[in-house]
Structure 1
Amino acid sequence: ITPPGGSPGSSASTAAPAVRLPPPVRLGFDVNGQAKKFDYKARAELVWQHDGSRYEARQEVSAFLVGTRSQSSVGQVTPQGLQPERFADRSRSEQAAHFDHAQKRVTFSANTPNAALGAGAQDRLSVFIQLGALLAADPGRFVPGTQITLTTVSARSADRWTFSVEGQETLDLPAGPTPALKLQRLPRRDYDQKAELWLAPALGYLPVRIRLTQANGDFADLRLRSSGPP
């Protein structure tokens, strides 16, 4: 965590951050997207559950003609937040990443090269919840310009993702007007996925809008429609 004008190596960024996890919930989203220049509409669901020691998160997007894509993350809850053990990504077939914290490495079912596993590493689903848990614990710390860098693991590889805190907005969502804090991933390379997310204090800083844009222009824009018990 780097404050505006700070350096990533400062003590402020290396201290173990406190977290406050949101309560279990089921979020429903309306989705607008584009895949290979084909516009589509879809529904998505994010189910978040934990018992204080273990957690499970599952996200599924279903669209006519495009099909269904699901992601899941399971692992432990620690004082520093989420510690993933397995991340799975399924469209036509499932690929998974396995987190070996004892050996400090991630292995992949796709037989891609192992990756080093550093402290605080997340997967592509848990990262959104971990970011919210950091903000919920100390909202005043995350002023616009603050940067948060996390190792983020997909089903095939690991990368360093840096998110910048952009500021507060009130979104006009299918669920109604919703105050939220916008964060944006800062791409390091031309082909990196762009990620924008809006986290709502009223929902424990869970995402109420997620917009993912690929380098080729494909995108998916998830906007909150409903929230309820899991």
Structure 2
Amino acid sequence: MFISRIRVLSLLLLCVSHLALAAPKQVQLTYEATRNGQPFATVNETYRQEGNRYHIESVTKGVGVYALFGERRLTSSGEVTAQGLKPEHFELHQGDNEKRSLYTDFDWANNQLKMKVKGKLNTVSLEPGAQDISSFIYQFMFAAPAGAELKLPVTTGKKLRTYHYQIDAKSDALEVAAGKFKVMHLSEAVADEDGKELWLAVEQHYLPVKLMMVDDKGSKIEQVLTSINVE
């Protein structure tokens, strides 16, 4: 019995390892962002893995009058493990306004999440498997959503909260500017002020084809894929 359990565990670890190896080493995604149906920004995302290290950069550039707000830049870096992404540092910058910048460090050794907001440090307990708002969508490349629901601790840079999604496992077809994709739909299990709906490309490493949310002013924000490059 003991030997049998060891064999099962070894097989599980091997499967996880194969998933990590199968994940792409470089991803480039471009999205059009709309507010209540009107385009307001272009989002360019890059994911790069070198060895057991990863780096993510997301740059949002406004169009028209929205360009006056400056670029919104998010970065996430850390380690790639058998379980997927293990963030170590996250930053968010809005234009040249340093007061709106956020800095987050994941202190896994001491199980602490250190979030610096407007120069003030807020430290909370670091939950296992925690991600930041840039890394969490790429974590699906390593751990595809399964079952009826998904709970994932995610930091926004200001706080740590649990994203709670219902999973619609059937693969519907969704056609966007980047092409036609079989998608899995993740919707909010509980209404939340900054929750998102996600449509993930089942045959493209569960990368997001579409994201939707309602902002604090009640506007409907959609982010739809216009181009994808996976290596």
Residue aligning to 1:84: 87
1:125 to 113, 124, 134: 134
Alignment of 1:100-119 (within 5 A): 100-110=107-117, 111-119=120-128
TM-score (norm 2): 0.79
Which residue, out of 174, 177, 192, partners 2:177? Answer: 174
Which residue pairs with 2:72 in the alignment?
69
8 A Cα contact 2:174 2:183, kept in partner: yes
Per the alignment, do residues 229 and 205 of structure 1 end up closer, same or farther by CA in structure 2, a change over 3 Å counting?
closer
Give the 3-state SS of the residue equivalent to 2:136 in structure 1.
helix
The residue type equivalent to 2:211 in the other structure is I
Residue segments in structure 1 that go unaligned for 5+ positions in a row: 1-14
- Looking at structure 2, the residues matched to 106 and 132 of structure 1 have their Cα atoms a distance apart, in angstroms, of 24
CA deviation map 1:35-62 (0-9, x unaligned): xxx9543211110111240111111111
1:99-144 per-residue CA deviation (whole Å, 9 max, x = no partner) reads 1111111111212531110211111111111134211xxx7xx25x
CA distance in 2 between counterparts of 1:70 and 1:219 reads 21
In the alignment, the residues of structure 2 paired with residue 213 and residue 52 of structure 1 have an alpha-carbon distance, to the nearest angstrom, of 38
Residue aligning to 2:212 = 211
With a CA cutoff of 8 Å and minimum separation of 6, indicate the structure with the bigger relative contact order: 1
Which residue does 1:223 correspond to in 2? 224
1:187 is displaced (CA, Å) by 3.7
Distance 1:131 1:187 in 2: 21
RMSD: 2.4
Report whether the alignment pairs 1:98 with 2:83.
no
More helix by share: 2
Cα distance in structure 2, aligned partners of 1:113 and 1:225: 37
For 1:112 and 1:173, how far apart are their aligned partners in 2? Answer: 41
| Higher radius of gyration, 1 or 2 | 2
CA contact (8 A) 1:97 1:154 kept: no
Return closer, same or farther for 1:213/1:107 CA change in 2, 3 Å cut-off: same
Q: Secondary structure at the match of 2:143?
A: helix
Deviation digits for residues 194-222 of structure 1 (CA, Å, limit 9, x no counterpart): 20111113321111111232243134311
How far residue 229 of structure 1 moved from its aligned partner, in angstroms, is 5.9
**Structure 2, unpaired ranges of 5+:** 1-11
Letter paired with 2:108: H
Q: In structure 2, how many angstroms separate the alpha carbons of the residues matched to 1:60 and 1:69?
A: 6
Q: In the alignment, what sits opposite 2:159?
A: 157
Partner of 1:53: 52
Post-superposition shift, 1:184? 2.0
Q: Give the conservation status (yes or no) of the 8 Å contact 1:22–1:133.
A: no
Matched residue pairs, number?
Answer: 204
